[in-house]
Amino acid sequence: MYSINDRQFSRFDPSLRRDTLDVWKEAVEFINRINGVAVTMPDDAKRGLKDKILASSVRIADRVAKASRSRSQHALESCLRNAVEAVHETIAQLYIARQWNYVTADYFQKMFEEGRGMVEKLCLFGGFEYLRREAN
């Protein structure tokens, strides 16, 4: 599991906006919860589903960090759209994992709700009310 404190985050990239920290930390926590179950899946899980789940979830935090360095409204919006898409992709893959009995219905429902919350936070972070409506 990966965790980071405020001081480490500042050293990680001092150009990151301070308001990014909370959103980024929540994205990392979301990744850690997904990783916790994904590592229990067999390595040969139906054409790399495990790897796809992990890759799409990590992309969420990556896009938040990239958004914080955006120098234009267009770049910020693009990064946040990519982060929202990564959340949706992660949830879709978890749904497949649910259908194939790699995760429980309760776990899927919990991650689905957390994913919706993450989308809300990403949209609020960027101040994009219309993006929030599109995402849900």
Q: In the chain, where are the structural domains located?
A: 18-39+46-135
Question: Is pLDDT of 56 > 50?
Answer: yes
Among residues 59, 8, 11, the alpha carbon closest in space to that of 31 is found at 59
**CA separation for the pair 114, 69 (Å, rounded):** 25
Among residues 33, 23, 41, the alpha carbon closest in space to that of 1 is found at 33
Of 17-26, 27-36, 83-92, the one with minimum mean pLDDT is 17-26
User: Around Cβ 24, how many Cβ atoms within 10 Å?
Assistant: 24
Of 47-56, 65-74, 98-107, the one with minimum mean pLDDT is 65-74
Tell me which of 3.40.50.1950, 3.20.20.210, 1.20.1440.60, 3.40.50.300 is the CATH number of domain 18-39+46-135.
Answer: 1.20.1440.60
Q: What is the value of pTM for the model shown?
A: 0.77
**CA separation for the pair 24, 54 (Å, rounded):** 16
Mean pLDDT within 58-77: 84
Q: Using pLDDT thresholds of 50, 70 and 90, give the confidence band for residue 78.
A: confident
User: What pLDDT, on the 0 to 100 scale, is given for residue 59?
Assistant: 93
SS3 49: helix
Name 122's Cβ contacts closer than 8 Å, sequence gap at least 6.
Answer: 23, 64, 80, 83, 84, 87, 135
User: What pLDDT, on the 0 to 100 scale, is given for residue 10?
Assistant: 44
